Chains A and B, each alone.
Chain A
Amino acid sequence: MLGRPENLPARSVEPATIDLGDIQGNVLRGYTMPAAAYVFLTIVDAPRARALLRRVLPLVQTAELWDATPEHAVNVAFSHEGLRAMGVTEDVLASFPEVFSEGIAPRAERLGDTGTSAPSEWEFSDPHALLTVCAVDTESLESVLAELRAFEAEGAVEFVHIMHTLDRTTGHDHFGFFDGVSQPAIAGAGVRSRRGDGQPDGNGGWREVATGEVLLGYPDEDGRLPEAPAAPFERNGTFVVVRKLAMDVAGFRRFVRDAGYPGGPDKLAAKMVGRWPDGTPLAISPEAPDAAISADPERINDFAYDDDPEGLRCPVGAHVRRSNPRDSKGFFHGRLTNRHRMVRRGRSYGTPLDEDRLDDDGTERGLMFVSFQTDIWRQFETVQALWMNDGDPLGVGADKDFLASGDDDGGKMTIPGHPPFFLKPLPRFVTTRGGAYLFQPSMSALRWLGDLA
C-alpha cells in the first residue's frame, strides 16, 4: 500500500456495476502513489496535440482495479478553450454548461478569490489542459515528465505551469491535520463503503452517494441523469475543479498561539478545523483526540451533527462542518447536503515547515485542491461560495470559514461555549495562486479526441 495512511486502509472490493474501463482513474478511488506532478499546458498546434494525445493514451489509467500498482498513471482533462483548441466543434462546445465554458477566473469574486487571491495575482488560470502524472517514485515520475517535455519540444503544446507534489504517506496537510478523510462512497464503484463515507440514510445509518453526482450518464441524487454535454462527452466523464492554495503555516501557528483561547492553541486549531490533528472528529470527541477513533476506519468518519445544533462540540462554523454539514440544522436531515458532495483528490506541495517554527522560512507550501463532480455550480461553487464564505445557510450570519476563507476585508468565527469565544478579524491563512475548471472525458471520448480529423 503505497503512500496510504495506516488509519485509512484501502476499502475492500466488491463487484462494480458501472463501466470502470471507460472511466479515467483517480475519480472513484484515489491514487496512493507517492510522487505526482500537475502539468498545465496550452495547445499550440491541434494536429500535433491530437497526435500527442494518441501517444499518451496508453499511459492513461482507467478506474479498473489494478492487479499491481503501475509504475505511473496519467490522467487528462481539458478546459472549454482546450477542447476548442483540440478541434471540438462549436455545437458540441455549446452543449457544455455555462459555468464551465466561462472558466474559474471570471467567477473569482463569488468564490472569495479577491485581494491577494484575485486572478490578477495567479500563476495560471484556465489553461487548455491538465495532465496529472502520478508515479511510484521520483525517478519514474521524471521519466514520464521527460517524455512529455519531448512533446513540448515538438511544438504540440507549451507547458504553462508544472507543480510537483509531496509524498502523502502521512496524509497530513501543512497545517498538521489529517486530510482527505471524508470522501463520498460512490454507488457502483466496486468498493465497499465505510460508515460515514456516504450519505445519512435517515435511520442512523449510511448509504452510498448516487453515481450521477460524480460521473455523467448515471442517475444522481435527484433520480435523474445530470445535465451533460453532447456525445461523446455525455457519459463516464466528470468536471474537475483545480485550485492551487498557498498556506501560511507560520501565520496559522502564530494565530492559534496568540488568540488567547481558554482551551489553548491546539484546541483552538481543532475548533477551527472540526477535527483534531489525528483526524478524531470533534463531534465524537470534543475534549481530546482519541486514537481508538482515529485509528478505526469505521469510526473516524461515522458521526453526525444533529445532536449538536449549537456547535458546542464541533462549532457550526468549523471547516469540516461547513464543507460537509451532514445533517446539521437547516440541511433537512442531510437531504440538502446530499446534493452538494464531491470527490476530493488534492495533494500537498512544498516542503513542510519545521515543527514548532513560528516564522516563515520563505518556502511556498500549500495544497493543490482537486475535486470531481457533475455540476460545478451546484457542488463546488455552492460549498465554496455559500457554505464556506457565507454563514447564512448555517445560521451563523457573517461568520466565515476561518481556515480557508481568508478575507482581506475582515470576517469572524464564533466558537460556541459559555461564554462563546470570538475570533476576529479573520487573517488570510490560504491564498489562491491559480485555478481551472476542467472536464475529464471518458476513455472513449479521449480516443475520439485523439482521432479528430
Chain B
Amino acid sequence: MPNRTGTAYALTTFARLEDSADADELERYLQELPRGADSPFHRLTGVHLTRVQLFRTLVHQGPKQTHDDRLRHPHLVFTSVFDGDRDAYLDQLRVKVPECDRWWGDCVGYPGRSDAAAFAAWVRSLQRTTTLFQSPFPTATVGRIRESVAMRERVLDFAVSTQGLDDDALLRRFREDF
C-alpha cells in the first residue's frame, strides 16, 4: 500500500513558497535548526525520520539526463516516517513543534496551528503519495528499534570483554551477564 510499509507511514509534502518569501533566509533557518536531542522532532514519539528542506533546483541525474529540471518556485519539502496514524502524527506536530509556523509560514495558504482541523487539512492537501518507500525495519516500532540497538550494544560490550576466553569461561560469563 502506498505511504505505508509494515507499521511505518511515510508522509511526503511539497509546499510552494510565497513570491514574497526570502528563500535564502528560510534556508539559513532550516540549516541552523538544532539536531539530535535538541531537534524539534525529538519531542515527537514514534518518529523514525523527518526532513524539512528547501527545493530550489533539482539535482542533475548524470550524463544520461539531457534536459535540466528547473523549478519555477522554491518548494518547502517536508518528509517524515513514523509509527501509526497520519492524523495523530499531524496533531503531535501541531502541538509540540511551534517551529512549523516558521518553515511553513512563508508557504502559500498556511493557516497556522491554532485551528487543528485547518492545519491538518492544509498539510494533507500538500501530500503526495510516497511511491518509493523502503524501510529497513518495516514492522518494528521506534521503541522496539531502540530496545534492539541497546541490546546490540550490550552484546557488543560482552563480545569485546570476553574475546579469547575458553568455552567454559565464556558460558559462565554469558550466564552472569544475561
The answer, yes or no, to whether A223 is at the interface (CB within 8 Å) is: yes
Which residues on the A side are within 8 Å of B62 (C-beta)?
A: 222-223
The answer, yes or no, to whether A107 is at the interface (CB within 8 Å) is: no
Question: Do B60 and A260 touch across chains, with their CB atoms under 8 A apart?
Answer: no
CB of B104 to closest CB in A, whole Å: 25
Question: Do A422 and B163 touch across chains, with their CB atoms under 8 A apart?
Answer: yes
Q: Which of A386-413 contact B (CB under 8 A)?
A: 412
Which residues on the B side are within 8 Å of A422 (C-beta)?
A: 156, 159-160, 163
The answer, yes or no, to whether B164 is at the interface (CB within 8 Å) is: yes
Chain A contact patch, size range: 10 to 19
Q: A420 to B156: give the CA distance in the assembly, Å.
A: 11
Give the residue of A224, A420, A421 whose beta carbon is less than 8 angstroms from that of B60: A224
The answer, yes or no, to whether B34 is at the interface (CB within 8 Å) is: no
The answer, yes or no, to whether B63 is at the interface (CB within 8 Å) is: yes
Q: A424 to B164: give the CA distance in the assembly, Å.
A: 14
Identify the closest chain A residue to B159 (Cβ).
Answer: A422
Which residues on the A side are within 8 Å of B163 (C-beta)?
A: 260, 421-422
Question: Do A424 and B160 touch across chains, with their CB atoms under 8 A apart?
Answer: yes
Question: Do A412 and B156 touch across chains, with their CB atoms under 8 A apart?
Answer: yes
Q: A341 to B157: give the CA distance in the assembly, Å.
A: 35
CB of A225 to closest CB in B, whole Å: 11
Q: A422 to B63: give the CA distance in the assembly, Å.
A: 42
Q: A424 to B157: give the CA distance in the assembly, Å.
A: 9
CB of B24 to closest CB in A, whole Å: 11
Q: A223 to B61: give the CA distance in the assembly, Å.
A: 10
List residues of chain B with CB under 8 Å of any chain A CB: 60, 62-63, 156-157, 159-160, 163-164
Query: Top 4 closest A-B pairs, CB basis?
Result: A223-B63, A422-B160, A424-B160, A222-B62
Cross-chain pairs A/B with CB under 8 angstroms, 20 sampled? A222-B60, A222-B62, A222-B63, A223-B62, A223-B63, A224-B60, A260-B163, A260-B164, A262-B164, A412-B156, A412-B160, A420-B159, A421-B163, A422-B156, A422-B159, A422-B160, A422-B163, A424-B156, A424-B157, A424-B160
